[in-house]
Amino acid sequence: MTHATTEAQSDRNLALELVRVTEAAALAASRWMGRGKKNEADGAAVTAMRRAFDSVAIAGTVVIGEGEMDEAPMLYIGEKVGAGGPAMDIAVDPLEGTTVCAKGAPNALAVLALAERGKFLHAPDIYMDKIAVGPGLPPGVVDLDAPVKENLRNLALAKKCDISDLVVCVMERERHAHIIAACRAAGARITLISDGDVAGVMATNQPSTGIDLFLGAGGAPEGVLAAAALRCTGGQMQGRLQFENQDQIDRARAMGNTDPTRKLSIEDMAGGNVMFAATGVTTGPMLNGVRRSATGAITHSIVMRSKSGTVRYIEAHHNFSIKAIIEEA
């Protein structure tokens, strides 16, 4: 067996190990689904994900953590995880969509991505403007700095459809009122989501979701995770960090962003060889949520690698108690 063959096999095995990590987080969070306690759900997911990482053969460093903005428990930036192996940078959100999980609403996910050391944007927990489309489109078909109407016109031309055929995913926030108004004025249709912009960006990846474009501002860490997902499929994404004060700008510079206000390409956010995994906690357009029973649970996950462009959906039947699943992970 050649070195290249061994390395490829190792990558494939690692990708599947990542699914076990997101499964553990999703299963733990699912115990709190619909119970109105988002921090408890997040804490359970964090604990399960941290424990599951102990068996993964990497020397990982968390460069995109979670929880700072919500003051929730987190896998913190700089934390070392893994059982030892190749040096990797890790972006995680053990429960992306804490509020929707607490409400039992759609689109809560357990998410993580891996990249070679130094290939993820080191982003503080602030907001990021984002625009994203799926694969198979001409380079530069949309641009973060272009007017909404121009982006819709160019996207419709590339997809050989009318603007009225396009569906734009936007988070339902007051700050997005102008985006929503511009889309509707141009004739496009809107899907509003309450939370979970990683899932919103990911939805542009698959025609079956009916989502053509994602627009708007959400968390910068979530932007890096979403960029990792799109890198694996050939999608397109741009972003720009949003700052509320000089302290945030100084913090971004301290994390290695020499020009914090620049427009970020998808490669700026997630470069090199990237792996991405997510498991549904509650059901959304891409993934089913955890289905629990007295004898076990069913999870639905996605795992992707940028090196091969392969997208795998994995439905796992855990035929023993949820408590045992979490302890075994």
What does the pLDDT read at residue 321? 57
Q: What is the pLDDT of residue 294?
A: 82
Tell me the average pLDDT across 313-324: 78
| 87-121 per-position pLDDT tens digit | 999 999 999 999 999 999 999 999 999 999 999 99
Per-residue model confidence (pLDDT) at position 7 = 53
- The CA dihedral of 138, 142, 146, 150, to the nearest 10 degrees, is 80
- Provide the pLDDT for residue 324: 57
The domain segmentation of the chain, as residue ranges, is 3-118+274-328, 127-269
Of the two residues 57 and 329, the one the predictor is more confident about is 57
What pLDDT does 24 receive? 96
pLDDT of 325 strictly over 60: no
* Per-residue model confidence as pLDDT tens digits over 152-203: 999 999 999 999 999 999 999 999 999 999 999 999 999 999 888 899 999 9
Task: Report the percentage of the chain scoring pLDDT > 70.
Answer: 91
Rounded to an integer, what distance in angstroms lies between the CA atom of residue 167 and that of residue 304?
24
- What is the CATH architecture assignment of 3-118+274-328? 2-Layer Sandwich (3.30)
For position 242, what pLDDT does the model report? 95
Give pLDDT tens digits for 215-253. Answer: 999 999 999 999 999 999 999 999 999 999 999 999 889
Write the pLDDT tens digit of every residue in 62-88.
Answer: 999 864 444 445 788 888 999 999 999
How far the first Cα of the chain sits from its last, in Å, is: 31
Cβ contact 158:256 at 8 Å: no
Give the other-Cβ count within 10 Å of 53's Cβ. Answer: 26
Coil, helix or strand at residue 177: helix
- Would you list the DSSP string of 98-118? HHHHHHT-S--EEEEEEEETT
- pTM of the prediction? 0.90
- From residue 112, how far is each of 39, 91, 128 by CA, in Å? 19, 6, 19
Residue 66 has a pLDDT of 60
pLDDT for 100 equals: 94
Alpha-carbon separation of residue 92 from 26, 135, 164, 165, 295 (angstroms): 13, 23, 36, 34, 29
Token pair 């160019």 is found at: 154
Quickly state the pLDDT bin for 319 (edges 50, 70, 90).
confident
Q: What is the token pair recorded at 42?
A: 């997040």
pLDDT attached to residue 322:
53
Q: What is the pLDDT of residue 5?
A: 43
pLDDT in tens, 14-36: 988 999 999 999 999 999 999 99
Round to whole Å and give the CA distance between 120 and 220: 12
Band (pLDDT 50/70/90 cuts) for residue 124 is: confident
Q: What is the rounded CA–CA span in Å between residue 219 and residue 257?
A: 17
pLDDT of residue 77: 83
The yes-or-no verdict on residue 57 having pLDDT over 70 is: yes
Banded pLDDT at 271 (limits 50, 70, 90): very high
Name the percent of the chain in helix, strand, coil, to the closest 5.
35, 25, 35
Length of the chain: 329
The CATH class of 127-269 is alpha beta
